[in-house]
Amino acid sequence: MNQDSHYARDPGPLGIYSDEARRASDIINLHLLADPAGNNGRWVAIRLSDGSSDGNVYDCKCDAKRYQLHEKQCVYVQIQPNGLSAKDAHILINLTRDLYDANRTMPDPPCQRHGVM
């Protein structure tokens, strides 16, 4: 059974995901490659406009948000052990755009450092 959400559709005529999805995927995977143990579980702010980032890896989502000009310019991605595929980046970017359009955000994970429950 196909479990893909509707956000996974339409990678484009060549089966290639958008520039921003591929750029976001490259950024996450490079951070993971650079320091697999150290960066696993940390956060990157990916700009929705073009899939770029500020080049930083943050300890928690609160910090990743705090250092952006506007929270809703970015989707906040936690680095996972298997990285981020362009397809998953595509889904995440489009889902986040829709959430922000609906004036909603992703729920924040708990953070002991900043007292987020």
Are 84 and 77 contacting, i.e. CB atoms less than 8 angstroms apart? yes
114 is a contact residue toward Zn ion (CB under 5 A): yes
Min dist. Cβ of residue 45 to Zn ion (A)? 13
Residue 29: CA count within 13 A, CB half-sphere: 12
Instruction: Specify the residue, 13 or 107, whose C-beta has the smaller distance to Zn ion.
Output: 107
Structure tokens at 66: 């705090």
Query: Which of 91, 98, 49 lies closest to 74, judged by CA?
Result: 49
Instruction: Specify the residue, 17 or 43, whose C-beta has the smaller distance to Zn ion.
Output: 43
Structure tokens at 102: 């609906």
Min dist. Cβ of residue 90 to Zn ion (A)? 27
Instruction: Tell me which residues in 50-109 interact with Zn ion (CB under 5 A).
Output: 60, 62
Instruction: Specify the residue, 50 or 71, whose C-beta has the smaller distance to Zn ion.
Output: 71
Residues 6+ apart with CB under 8 A from 55: none
111 is a contact residue toward Zn ion (CB under 5 A): yes
Residues that bind Zn ion (CB under 5 A): 60, 62, 111, 113-114
